[in-house]
Amino acid sequence: MLAVRPDGVADPSQRRASLRQARSRQTKRALLQAAVALWRANGYAHTTVADICRAAGVSKALFYFYFPRKEDVLFEIGVLSTQAAHRTAHQLLQKPYEVPQVIAAALASLERSMRRNPRELIIETILEGYRQEHRILAAGRQLEGTALIFAELFEKAQADGKIPAHVDVHHLANVAQSLVSEGARHWAAGEYGERSFTDVVARDISAFLAGVSAQASNDG
């Protein structure tokens, strides 16, 4: 909301800042859209930063303001897909839920996103995600909560008694995320045949969750 001066007029400096932020978001979105369109048409390896800049109508300097490397665009695309899956899970948690159904719905959201892109691009995105994750962890930082699709689900499920209290749900979310990434890579490589990404990975995560919960109950 814009600040309002005592005379009832909106603060011009805040209005200018809001316009700059809006233009910034539009520019970044234009770069992402141009990159994806070119990658779909020409392939990731055959698309340069200069190609993306021409398609988006911006300078190279502006590109590098938002993305230090071409690979960072890949990472951003992966983040957006993960955030969309996380939002799907979050929305389902606002009403009565069952853990397997939330897992399947979030994975279905991710699969819809993947099916819009060439499989080569999916594999490149996953590999760049691994590299970025390694940089984050090597720097001693933690992954953001939204980077782990099922962190919120597992935390709420534990609070609601659906997962045993002494299960490490953060570790559980990390392992589930690894299953998602590896599952996406294998799916993109054609290793699942006619089986869907959602069906295979939802079953893997649910089986792992059941095993961890059973072990925790036995240990307790």
Give residue-wise pLDDT tens across range 81-99.
999 999 999 999 999 999 9
Model confidence over 49-74: pLDDT tens digits? Answer: 999 999 999 999 999 999 999 999 99
Output the average pLDDT for the chain.
88
* HEC letters along 108-162: HHHHHHHHCCCHHHHHHHHHHHHHHHHHHHHCCCCCCHHHCCCHHHHHHHHHCCC
Q: Output the six-digit token pair for 74.
A: 């890949």
pLDDT band at residue 140 under the 50/70/90 scheme: confident
- pTM score, whole prediction: 0.81
Model confidence over 8-24: pLDDT tens digits? Answer: 555 556 655 554 665 78
The values of phi and psi at residue 213, to 5°, are: -65, -40
State yes or no: pLDDT of 122 exceeds 80: yes
Would the CATH topology of 11-67 be identical to that of 68-219? no
Model confidence over 171-187: pLDDT tens digits? Answer: 999 999 999 999 999 99
Q: Which residues pair with 4 in a beta bridge?
A: 10
Q: Does domain 68-219 have CATH number 2.30.30?
A: no
Architecture of the domain spanning 11-67: Orthogonal Bundle (1.10)
Whole-number pLDDT of residue 21:
62
Q: Could you state, in order of their start, the residue ranges of all structural domains in the chain? A: 11-67, 68-219
The percentage of residues in the chain with a pLDDT greater than 70, rounded to a whole number, is 87
Contact present, 174 and 189 (Cβ < 8 Å): no
Name the H helices within the chain: 12-42, 49-56, 60-66, 70-92, 99-115, 119-138, 151-159, 169-188, 197-219
Model confidence over 108-120: pLDDT tens digits? Answer: 999 999 999 999 9
Q: Output the six-digit token pair for 95.
A: 């009403």
Whole-number pLDDT of residue 20:
61
Whole-number pLDDT of residue 39:
93
State yes or no: pLDDT of 143 exceeds 70: no
State yes or no: pLDDT of 2 exceeds 50: no
